[in-house]
Amino acid sequence: MEPVPAKPIILYAEDDFDDFESIKEALHQLSDQPVLLHAKNGQEAVSFIENATVLPSLIVLDLNMPIMDGKEVLQWLKANDDYKNIPIMVFTTSSREDDVKLCQKHGCTFFRKPTLYRDLLHVAQAMLNLCEKSAV
Residue 55 is assigned to a structural domain of this protein: yes
The answer, yes or no, to whether residue 49 has pLDDT greater than 50, is yes
Residue 3 is assigned to a structural domain of this protein: no
pLDDT at 99: 86
**Domains in the chain, number:** 1
Which has more pLDDT, 64 or 39?
A: 39
List, for residues 89-121, the tens digit of each pLDDT value.
999 888 888 888 988 898 899 999 998 888 999
pLDDT at 7: 83
The whole-number average pLDDT for the span 36-54 is 94
Q: Can you give the length of the chain in residues?
A: 136
What domain range includes position 101? 9-135
CATH classification at residue 95: 3.40.50.2300
Residue 59 contacts by C-beta under 8 Å, 6 or more apart in sequence?
10, 11, 13, 45, 49, 73, 77, 86, 87, 88, 89
The whole-number average pLDDT for the span 113-136 is 86
pLDDT at 102: 86
Instruction: Say how far residue 130 (Cα) sits from the centre of its chain.
Output: 10
Give the pTM: 0.90
Residue 74 is assigned to a structural domain of this protein: yes
pLDDT at 33: 79
